[in-house]
Amino acid sequence: MRNQSRQQFRSMFQVKVSNSRNGSLIGYVEDISESGLKVVSEAPFVPDERLHMLVQVREGEIAQFDLDATCKWSGANADTGYFEGGFCLYQPPATFAAMVERVRIRRDALEKISVDNNKAEQADAYLASMSA
């Protein structure tokens, strides 16, 4: 059972993951929490392999986090043709957890606005049907 909620990215290409030792592209973050992330890649991951990742997040300006992570699972996604891997972070910096919390707050606010707008549209449609 997860202790934190995961945040999914509408466009997985918002958060790039590179090897922090040689700069090669590993993939892109699909979802993220304070203690782990799901990465999508063109190449499979090796479970139990430890990677040193540089995660680049566009938050107004680019924020970079140097993370140490272990692959917990890996598999192919038959729908997309990409490989996915779940990574557990080893001692992520507090600034990383703060970034995840900011993303969560922003997403919650956007979802509330979306729900409120949908309710207003439904009310307008109902009122229009009543006056017709």
- In this structure, of 56-60, 99-103, 105-109, the range with the lowest mean pLDDT score is 56-60
Q: Which of 36-40, 96-100, 123-127 has the weakest average pLDDT?
A: 123-127
The residues near 91 (Cβ < 8 Å, ≥ 6 apart) are 68
Q: Which of 3-12, 55-64, 115-124 has the lowest mean pLDDT?
A: 3-12
Mean pLDDT over the full length of the chain: 80
Reported as a pLDDT band with limits 50, 70 and 90, residue 14 is confident
Cβ distance 72 to 124 under 8 Å? no
pLDDT for res 123 = 58
Pairwise CA distance, residues 26 & 45, whole Å? 9
The domains located in the chain, with CATH, are 7-131 (2.40.10.220)
pTM: 0.72
Judged on CB neighbours under 10 Å (0-12, 13-18, 19+), 41 is: middle
Tell me: the pLDDT tens digits for 64-79? Answer: 899 999 999 999 999 9
- Tell me the pLDDT tens digit for each residue of 114-125: 666 666 666 566
Q: Which residue has the tokens 């799901």?
A: 38
